[in-house]
Amino acid sequence: MKKIAILLLIALSCSRPAAPFQGEEARFFEIAEGERTAVVSVSPFGGQRDTLFIEKPLGSIVCASSSYVACLSAVGCDSVVTGVSGLRYLANDRIKAVEVGYDYAPDYEAVLKLRPDLVVAYATSAIVPEPVSFLRRSGIPVLVLYDHLETHPLARASYVRLFGALTGRLKEADEFYGMVADAYHKAVCTPEIRRKVLVNLPYGDRWFIPGGSNWFTRLVEDAGGQVLGAAEGESSSSVVSLETARSLAGEADVWLNPGLCRTREEIARACPVFENIDIPKIYNNIKRLGPAGGNDFWESGAVRPDLILGDMVRILQDDAPVPSDSLYYYIKVAD
């Protein structure tokens, strides 16, 4: 009965109508249906357009990112995935594919042997990655995407539609995305007082904080929180010193994603400067790890922001500790 009452209080505190959703539409891809379906990738670095015409559903796709695997899985196309970069780190154990190497050490021979219908890659600048150029010179079609630079969680999730178009399952993709978007909208929380949230753990002596226009920051905001130190208007992460992060921690109500730590003791060992910082609630997005350490938060979470948001609303808005077994991607960091 107590649990039901707590959930009711959360629902009431988050039931105020949300402001109109902005930025949900993906900026960096388009789909044009006609005699032939055209999938267009739009570069954020100058607006160059890379168009792929689909004559028939593709039956073999090599994925350079686990989030692309999640998109294909969401439309029932696990079998279409024939090659994956970082295969051993996939959380999805239904994928039967081959390893094709990593960004800086691609296995060209494996890709050429597969002769896939398409390689789906990504880029982080205007410069075309050398592996992409090599494969194109070798006659392998490559589509470069920029989903990681979208600023809204639903914009990232909408890439499931692109993969639906590639595989002849656009209708199924639209249905899936509609379900996710509807669930996300219903979960959005707009409390009068926002929880202050510290994010991440230092990498070396640098602390990365997602920018004010970053998709993760938007998730926290839609859960009724505020990312401490987020640079306004920036979509990429900024770097702050440990001293600055420690100062921010003094304001935090909640700490999210502290590396791979499962206990406060592990956090203190990883970052001794935080040994005496008492943040009331600490939760980590490492509940769904694969055998090799791959994190499903970054895989299926790309197409299920509604589930991430559901976790965050409970973590941020429930005054009582939220048990790990009631969350999907998150665990409570043990005292």
**Would 5 be classed as within a structural domain?**
no
Nearest 5 degrees, angle CA 55-CA 60-CA 66? Answer: 120
3-state class of 143 per DSSP? strand
122: tokens are 């990504």
110: tokens are 């494996």
Q: Write out pLDDT tens, residues 243-302.
A: 999 999 999 999 999 999 999 999 999 999 888 889 999 999 999 999 899 999 999 999
User: Which range marks the domain in which residue 277 is found?
Assistant: 190-332
Cβ neighbourhood burial of 3 (10 Å; 0-12, 13-18, 19+): exposed
Beta bridge pairs of residue 105: 102
DSSP string, 29-93: EEEE-SSSEEEEEE-TTT--EEEEEESS----EEESSHHHHHHHHHTT-GGGEEEETTGGG-S-T
**Would 53 be classed as within a structural domain?**
yes
Same domain, yes or no: 180 and 195? no
Rounded CA gap, 274 and 198, in Å? 12
What is the residue-averaged pLDDT of the chain?
92
Write down which residue in 145, 161, 184 finishes a domain: 184
Same domain, yes or no: 48 and 171? yes
CATH label of the domain that carries residue 49: 3.40.50.1980
Same domain, yes or no: 89 and 38? yes
Same domain, yes or no: 173 and 210? no
**Would 7 be classed as within a structural domain?**
no
- How many CB atoms within 10 Å of residue 25? 11
DSSP class of 17: P
Q: Write out pLDDT tens, residues 33-91.
A: 988 999 999 999 999 999 999 999 999 999 999 999 999 999 999 999 999 999 999 99
Write down which residue in 127, 154, 184 finishes a domain: 184
Give pLDDT, residue 275.
84
**For residue 167, pLDDT beyond 50:** yes
pTM for this predicted structure: 0.92
**Would 59 be classed as within a structural domain?**
yes
Q: How many domains does the chain have?
A: 2
Do the Cβ atoms of 252 and 279 come closer than 8 Å? yes
**Would 227 be classed as within a structural domain?**
yes
Tell me which of 1 and 151 has the higher pLDDT. Answer: 151
Do the Cβ atoms of 298 and 69 come closer than 8 Å? no
3-state class of 122 per DSSP? strand
Same domain, yes or no: 171 and 304? no
Same domain, yes or no: 107 and 206? no
**For residue 310, pLDDT beyond 70:** yes
Same domain, yes or no: 174 and 67? yes
Report the Cα 173 to chain-centroid distance in Å. 18
3-state class of 290 per DSSP? coil
**Would 13 be classed as within a structural domain?**
no
Same domain, yes or no: 174 and 115? yes
Write down which residue in 184, 202, 234 finishes a domain: 184
Rounded CA gap, 145 and 189, in Å? 31
Rounded CA gap, 247 and 152, in Å? 28
CATH label of the domain that carries residue 233: 3.40.50
Give whole-number Cα distances, 33 to 30, 41, 48, 53, 162, in Å: 10, 15, 20, 10, 12
DSSP string, 194-254: PEEEEE---BTTBEEE--TTSHHHHHHHHTTEEETTPPTT--S-EEE-HHHHHHHHTT-SE
Work out the pLDDT band at 17, boundaries 50, 70, 90.
very low
DSSP class of 273: G
